Amino acid sequence: MAATHQFDVNKLFGMQGRTAVVTGGGTGIGLMAAQALAANGGTVYITGRRKEALDNAVNSHHPDQRGGKIVALGPCDVTKKDDLQKIVEELQAKEKYIDLLVCNAGVAGTKATPDQEDAGNLKQRLWEHETVEAWNQTYNIDVTSVYFTTVAFLPLLQSAIEPHGPLPRFGASVITISSMSGMMRDAQGHFSYNAAKAATVHLTKLMSKEFQRAWIRVNSIAPGYFPSEMTDKNKGSDEKQKSEFPQEKIESTGHVPAMRPGSEEEMGMTVLYLARNGYVNGQIVAVDGGVLNVVGGT
């Protein structure tokens, strides 16, 4: 039975002595996850395709307590098995195990708004603004790479069981970053992205069921509107690899009950919860400000 002191937040969600890997960790939600984990004592390896972004993120964000740190790993293109194997081997030379893998790398894909009532005009709009190649690229990055990234790190994840003792038996976990867009019926003009994120949601459930035999948990965070390069394409990242989400964009949607974008701290809270709660497995946690209460979902 737990004594009261065991409910201290640092005991519940602290990451001291724990190691994580975050893909797409140089910007956006990936960087938020890395900061939250490192601020609570974790050693966090961030990887991505752009070495400059990784190095800038590491140099710009230093945990000021609890001994955590953010370390650049790679660069790595998660759509390439050779790149994935290379960073796994690079990490194995430094660490005996990892406690957490955050599969965050993703792209938005092309946009074609289905706002035509005439079927001929509707076909023209969608046919001319979308390509098979763009659809395949979106799926490859948002879904296929999540699977192969997770598979590549399975041995390092399973190796986390013993260092932390037999309880909790689920010693390590994977967090995929899907999207509320994969849980709604409104295409938002992003057929390929929404379909891919729906596949990420189901892939998470498949991996959770199948990988629990290796004592590895798999859950997903389905974000709503959060600041990132994907959501602020015009400005990208600033000198600290940070982005903004304009308030007017939230208001223009008309379907965000919270009437604001999500904060970086709120994303960090969710990452820490799924990282440390060993009794949560196979869940899709929507952090959307209530959007799915308004927009029809699955």
Per the annotation, the verdict on 225 as an active-site residue is no
CATH of the domain at 130: 3.40.50.720
Classify residue 177: in a domain, yes or no.
Answer: yes
Classify residue 60: in a domain, yes or no.
Answer: yes
pLDDT for the residue numbered 296: 74
Classify residue 115: in a domain, yes or no.
Answer: yes
Mean pLDDT value of segment 70-87:
96
pLDDT for the residue numbered 60: 87
Query: Tokens representing 216?
Result: 């590895």
Per the annotation, the verdict on 192 as an active-site residue is no
Classify residue 4: in a domain, yes or no.
Answer: no
Classify residue 90: in a domain, yes or no.
Answer: yes
pLDDT for the residue numbered 63: 82
Classify residue 87: in a domain, yes or no.
Answer: yes
Candidates 163, 64, 150, 69; CA nearest to 105 is 150
| pLDDT tens string 252-262 | 888 999 999 99
Residue 167 has pLDDT above 80, yes or no: no
Classify residue 86: in a domain, yes or no.
Answer: yes
pLDDT for the residue numbered 195: 96
**Given 181, 193, 220, 242, the catalytic residue:** 193
**Total domains in the fold of the chain:** 1
Q: Domain range for residue 285? A: 15-294
Residue 165 has pLDDT above 60, yes or no: no
**Given 45, 145, 173, 178, the catalytic residue:** 178
**Given 139, 179, 181, 197, the catalytic residue:** 197
Classify residue 131: in a domain, yes or no.
Answer: yes
Per the annotation, the verdict on 178 as an active-site residue is yes
pLDDT for the residue numbered 170: 64
Candidates 182, 192, 209, 76; CA nearest to 138 is 192
| pLDDT tens string 3-45 | 999 999 999 999 999 999 999 999 999 999 999 999 999 999 9
Q: Give the confidence band of 214 by pLDDT, cuts at 50, 70, 90.
A: very high
Which amino acid is located at 261 in the chain?
Answer: P
